Chains A and B, each alone.
Chain A
Amino acid sequence: MNNEKITVTARRTRFEPPTTNALAANPASPMVLQGVMQILAGLDRKVDALATRPPQEVALPAQPKAEAPAETEKPQDTTALTETPKPKLRINRARLLSFFD
């Protein structure tokens, strides 16, 4: 429900209808029809203009730079300390002593 206050102004004088242009007031008059036709034509032009407009570039509001997350310390590779390094493979010379020509 509309909560706006309704004010009613009492007319102390006799009601007299306002003088109006009979031609203009007639909804079927050619002027009204012409006006409607002009409005429709105007709308038609606007629709055409909207349909053929170039794509709009939307300027986005500048966003505040996201702060880089604080670097977390890499977990130290402790395997090198705990594991003994593999010995470098060498030629097993004892295996070279059984041979043919």
Chain B
Amino acid sequence: MMHRRRMKMPDGRLIEPSADALALFLAEHQLAAYAAPPPIDLPRDADGLSSRERDYSTESFDIRKLAGREVTVFGAGSVASHLIYALGPAGLSINVVDPGTVQARHTTGGRTIYDPTQVGLKKVYALKQKIEREFPGTIINALPYHTAEIPDSQIKSLLSRSLVVVLAIDDPDQIIRIGDLSYPTTEFVQPAMHAKGESGHIAVCVPFVTPCLRCTLGIDSAKDITRLDSEPANSLDIAAVAQQAARITLDIAYSKVTGQAITRWDTSKNLIYITNTKQELSPDGPGIRFEGSRRRPGCSICDNLYGRMKGTENE
């Protein structure tokens, strides 16, 4: 026999609570209101993604496939900061190496992506603050070191983990050093702005596909490079070159993740020249030009890689 539970009222009476019709009705409908809606079986594509999950991706490019992948960017100056901002939506894990500090002049006129509240902060931390706030999912691994401080072994470790390396620094010695260390290991992209920002270039080096950075730029040593400090330039021109470099970086990363061939540009043409004005190569206005490079006979960097390849074939 089941005993009904009694409830003591404030005046001392014991009452036997009875089921209230209204309470029962509300309880039932409350459950119904909070119940999860039945799942809608949306049509799924070959990758098992529904149209709701796919969002704005196209058949050839779904940016979410890059989420969590690692890339490394050397530099956090004007080109690098705009470039990293452009990479933001991809949700990458980005190692950023730069020892610099945000100064007031960096925050005016859109020269970089830093804002006046970040003056005095290390650039890599300012990037982390801004990018991780604006692009949830993207991770900035802030490395506030000068590239010269990092030994070769650690640089190689960083490179081997990265899908792509971006070399956006202006120290000639370190450009050559990172270029030489990267070439046999991973794909790298070297964007740079020329005098007054009237043009820029992106050198793309892909092991076994293109020559090394030295051959691409036609240089023998760091002495061949001239560094332009505090060069006046239109910030939009800097952002235009950075955007192109970011797009190429994503193309390479996407190709490595998905195995899908790059068809947007001819990958054998690894020197990309971007004009921001009317010039001899682009007489009608701003433009972009792709040009191939040749491996120079006797290049120790190229020969090292191709020699290794031949050795592997002979085995």
Instruction: Please report A residues at the B interface, Cβ cutoff 8 Å.
Output: 89-91, 93-101
Given A101-B78, A101-B168, A90 contacting B291 (CB threshold 8 A): yes
Q: Is B170 an interface residue (CB 8 A)?
A: yes
Whether B195 lies near A96 (C-beta < 8 A) is no
Q: Is B218 an interface residue (CB 8 A)?
A: yes
Q: How many A-B residue pairs have CB under 8 A?
A: 62
Bound complex: CA of A88 vs CA of B218, how far in Å?
A: 19
Whether B227 lies near A89 (C-beta < 8 A) is no
Closest to A98 in B: B226
Whether A101 lies near B79 (C-beta < 8 A) is yes
Given A91-B271, A91-B289, A97 contacting B224 (CB threshold 8 A): yes
Closest to B197 in A: A100
Please give 14 more A-B residue pairs, beta carbons under 8 A apart, in addition to A95-B194, A96-B217, A96-B273: A89-B281, A91-B273, A97-B217, A97-B225, A98-B227, A99-B226, A100-B78, A100-B170, A100-B193, A100-B229, A101-B75, A101-B80, A101-B168, A101-B192
What 1/0 flags go to B74-114 for Cβ under 8 Å of A? 01011110000000000000000000000000000000000
Q: How large is the interface on B (under 10, 10 to 19, 20 to 34, 35 or more residues)?
A: 20 to 34
Q: Is B169 an interface residue (CB 8 A)?
A: yes
Q: Which residues of B contact A95 (CB under 8 A)?
A: 194
Instruction: Please report B residues at the A interface, Cβ cutoff 8 Å.
Output: 75, 77-80, 168-170, 191-195, 200-201, 217-219, 224-229, 231, 233, 271, 273, 280-281, 289, 291
A-B residue pairs in contact (CB < 8 Å), sample of 18: A90-B291, A91-B271, A91-B273, A91-B291, A96-B194, A97-B217, A97-B219, A98-B195, A98-B225, A98-B226, A98-B227, A99-B193, A99-B200, A99-B201, A100-B78, A101-B75, A101-B191, A101-B192
